[in-house]
């Protein structure tokens, strides 16, 4: 589906792609972006769900910049080392480093791209989160902490069967894995990420 110039004529200039796999089909997405650029469409594009870093290439990054993708967001979750088959193997540190390299080469400056990290996921310590925050900052990216919330029906949620019977505990305002003694540390991590983000302006 191609962006219509009719939308621009009625004043709509901000568009969001909510698909983390937006770049998986490189031939399709590059063709799409080239058409936007060729038509001279003056719009801004956002990726609020976070893009799969593994599929960012030099070409896609260059076209994203020219098409005015603003504050592109990548997803990492954690830099923690994992065993084969673990949930963290979807995106590696190397994937993120490559994506950031291509972003910078395309003209994105330090602090103009974001990275989602997971806070409170099963098996991740608060120290893991701190290490991940520092890694993203070292690459010039801003950190967005995504609070873990078990989704009913998933393996992670199976550990909280009784807890998740209460719908209010299925949103990210509650951390089933953390007791009250950890809230101080959680607040510290959020403040720490904010401070490092501010240093990139």
pLDDT by residue for the chain (201 residues), tens only, comes to 455 555 556 778 899 999 999 999 999 999 999 999 999 988 999 999 999 999 999 999 999 999 999 999 999 989 886 544 445 567 899 999 999 999 999 999 999 999 999 887 777 888 999 999 999 999 999 999 988 776 667 676 666 655 556 666 555 555 555 656 778 888 999 999 999 999 997
Provide the pLDDT for residue 178: 61
- What pLDDT shows up at residue 116? 95
Tell me the H-state helices in 123-182.
Answer: 126-138, 155-158
pLDDT at 190 (0 to 100):
94
Domain boundary assignment for the chain:
13-198
Contacts 24+ apart (CB under 8 A), 45-48: 45/15, 45/16, 45/17, 45/69, 45/70, 46/14, 46/15, 46/16, 46/17, 46/70, 46/71, 47/16, 47/17, 47/22, 47/72, 47/73, 48/16, 48/18, 48/73
What CATH number has the domain spanning 13-198? Answer: 3.80.30
Give the pLDDT confidence score for residue 177 in this predicted structure. Answer: 57
Q: Determine the straight-line distance between the first and last CA of the chain, rounded to whole angstroms.
A: 36
Kindly state the tokens that stand for 22: 């937006």
What is the pLDDT at residue 168? 61
Predicted TM-score (pTM) of the model is 0.83
């Amino acid at each position: 589906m191609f962006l219509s110039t009719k939308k621009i004529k009625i004043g709509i200039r901000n568009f969001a792609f909510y698909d983390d796999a937006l770049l998986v089909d490189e031939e399709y997405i590059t063709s799409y972006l080239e058409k936007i650029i060729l038509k001279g469409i003056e719009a801004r594009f956002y990726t609020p769900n976070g893009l799969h870093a593994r599929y960012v290439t030099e070409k896609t990054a260059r076209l994203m910049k020219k098409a005015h993708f603003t504050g592109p967001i990548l997803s990492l979750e954690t830099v923690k080392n994992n065993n084969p088959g673990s949930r963290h193997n979807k995106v590696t540190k190397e994937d993120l480093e490559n994506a950031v390299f291509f972003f910078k080469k395309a003209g994105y400056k330090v602090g103009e791209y974001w990275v989602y990290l997971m806070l409170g996921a099963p098996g991740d310590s608060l120290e893991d989160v701190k290490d991940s925050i520092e890694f993203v900052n070292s690459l010039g990216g801003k950190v967005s902490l995504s609070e873990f919330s078990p989704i009913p029906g998933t393996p992670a949620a199976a550990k909280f069967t009784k807890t998740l019977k209460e719908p209010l505990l299925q949103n990210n305002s509650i951390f089933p894995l953390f007791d009250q003694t950890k809230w101080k540390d959680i607040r510290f991590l959020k403040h720490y990420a904010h401070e490092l983000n501010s240093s990139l302006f």
